Structure 1
Amino acid sequence: MINLEVCIDNIESLFTAQQAGADRIELCGALALGGLSPSSGLITQVMKHASVPVNVMVRPRDGDFLYSSHEVEMMLHEIHTAKKYGMHGVVFGALDKQAKIDVDILKSLMRAAEGLSVTFHRAIDCCEDAHLAIDTLLSVGCDRVLTSGLASNAELGADCLKSMVSQSQGRLIIMAGAGINANNVAGIIKDTGVSEVHLSGKVSRASQMENILNCGYLPEFMKISVTSADKISTVKQAIQGF
């Protein structure tokens, strides 16, 4: 069975993703920035209505994954908040100046996350050495890694994804993400052997405001990014045979 994870950043998308067949939710804020830590208000509402496991993003800002001590303190606090709200798991990553996984920070985050499922996010795709990165994640006990195989999308990174699956030997779940859709998901699974796939399935819908007055020239008032039921359900159908 292939698990389907859908990343969302609003409550509307939670209901859509669940109804369309998501097996798990990655809850973020600001997907337009690559996904940041969500607000406590969003966490509360999602946990109130979630019918599938929810993993929460722990990422204090956009940009790179080289974090200061202050930012690490923020991440530790957010992990404790995830426990407080009963989240299934957390999603984080940290790199050093040489674009290797920062083992010291990772171990600190792992200790804080004890008892939660841990996903290392696509910070791994900024690493030069995939083999070393996987060894590091195995050594600290991460449950899964979200990766495009160090490429711009999972289809282009298929060879690397296959190598990661082989190297991990079932000790680390390799979850393919970036550019996943109904047309390529079956081929990616066949070519790589991954057991989980990840996508947002976003579309833009028009604002439901009847009168937006002078705000109309601002793009965020015209279009709202939400999960597409069709995109999620068609991917779900495409993976049914695995």
Structure 2
Amino acid sequence: MSVFVEVCIDSIRSLSLAEHAGADRIELCSALRLGGLTPSDGYMQQAAQKARIPIYAIIRPREGDFVYSSDEIEVMLQDIANARQAGCAGVVIGALTPNGQLDVPAIDAMLAQAHGMGVTFHRAFDHCQDPHAALEAILARPAIERILTSGQATNALQGKEALKQWVDATRHSSLTIMPGAGVSPDNAQELLAYTGAREIHLSARSEQVSAMPSNSYASMGDGDDARYPITDSERVRLVKAIANRF
């Protein structure tokens, strides 16, 4: 069986591009420039209806750190319920305490809300002060299927030593280590060969130039209104071809 390829996207147009290029699963986000935020209800519904592969919605109510207030956790629990109602196969979660430990009560509440759905623990893991303790706590929660991680490095290639250690440590468990961050056709072969991972994650982002002229004096935010992120299907196809050799 070949390595599983997950592609994160932040538009409905990118869904068909990623799927047709060979993606095995979609991490559904909005605002990938901010690291990925919770998708809207309409976006989740349309994606779940159109997709022929599993859709996992990220549950992240804002940019920034992963330390959440009780009100934010309530938002996240409702978002999980919305993802279920929309028909998503799973959710992508994570929460930490101010001292960089897993926020176990928040995580357990989200797992209870997601009962019966697939669950990925996202790159909040890369901000844990003690990743080995965090790994043990996640292993004790079999509802969590995988950890998306860069090996606590800027990108997965730089974190390949830690990734290999964690892949080896979880090889005989139900938990999967999924390298992500900076994955491309240029490094996927090395990452998979070195770490032994059976899943890999990438965004394969390129930019789509707007069809209309931009008014540079009336920006909608910090980004460039004249262009927006879109999935590069060729990068996905190339990574999938590499994954098929493992």
Q: Confirm or deny a common fold (TM above 0.5).
A: yes
Match of 2:198 among 195, 199, 203: 195
CA distance in 2, matches of 1:10, 1:140: 31
- Secondary structure at the counterpart of residue 140 of structure 1: coil
1:29–1:35 contact (8 Å) kept in structure 2? yes
How far is the alpha carbon of 1:234 from its aligned partner?
A: 1.0
Q: State the Cα distance separating 1:171 from its structure 2 match.
A: 2.1
Residue matched to 1:229: 233
1:182 aligns with 2:185: yes
The alignment partner of 1:13 has SS state of helix
Q: What CA distance in whole angstroms lies between the structure 1 residues aligned with 2:72 and 2:140?
A: 24
Q: Percent identity?
A: 42
Q: 1:37 to 1:193 in 2, by over 3 A?
A: same
CA deviation vs aligned residue, 1:169-208 (integer Å, no higher than 9, x gap): 3321110000101111111111111111001100012111
CA–CA distance in structure 2, aligned partners of residues 152 and 90 of structure 1: 24
| Residue pair 2:45, 2:87 contacting (<8 A) in 1 also | no
SS in 2 for 1:220: coil
Report what 1:59 is aligned to.
Answer: 60
The equivalences for 1:1-242 within 5 A come to 1-141=2-142, 142-169=144-171, 170-209=173-212, 211-212=213-214, 214-215=215-216, 218=219, 220-242=224-246
- One-letter amino acid matched to 1:124: F
| SS of the residue 1:133 aligns to | helix
TM-score, with normalisation over the residues of structure 1?
A: 0.96
Q: What is the distance in 2 between the residues matched to 1:95 and 1:75?
A: 14
Question: For residue 231 of structure 2, what is the amino acid of its counterpart?
Answer: T
1:130-163 deviation line (CA, Å, top 9, x unaligned): 2111101111221111000111111111111111
The separation in 1 between residues aligned to 2:216 and 2:189, in whole angstroms, is: 43
Matched to 2:164, the amino acid is: K
Structure 2 gaps of 5+ residues are: none
Aligned residue type for 2:179: A
Pairwise CA RMSD: 1.3
Question: What one-letter code is carried by the residue in structure 2 that aligns with 1:12?
Answer: R
Distance verdict in 2 for CA 1:190–1:98, change over 3 Å: same
TM value normalised by structure 2: 0.94
Say whether the 8 Å CA contact 1:122–1:148 is kept in structure 2: yes
Query: Counterpart amino acid of 1:208?
Result: A
State the one-letter code of the partner of 2:25. Answer: R
1:199 and 1:100 map into 2 onto residues whose CA distance is: 26
Deviation of 1:216 (Å) = 7.2
Q: What letter matches 1:200 in structure 2?
A: S
Q: CA shift at 1:215, angstroms? A: 5.0
Whichever residue aligns with residue 89 of structure 1, its letter is G
Q: Which runs of 4+ in 1 moved over 2 A?
A: 214-221
Equivalent pairs counted in the alignment come to: 240
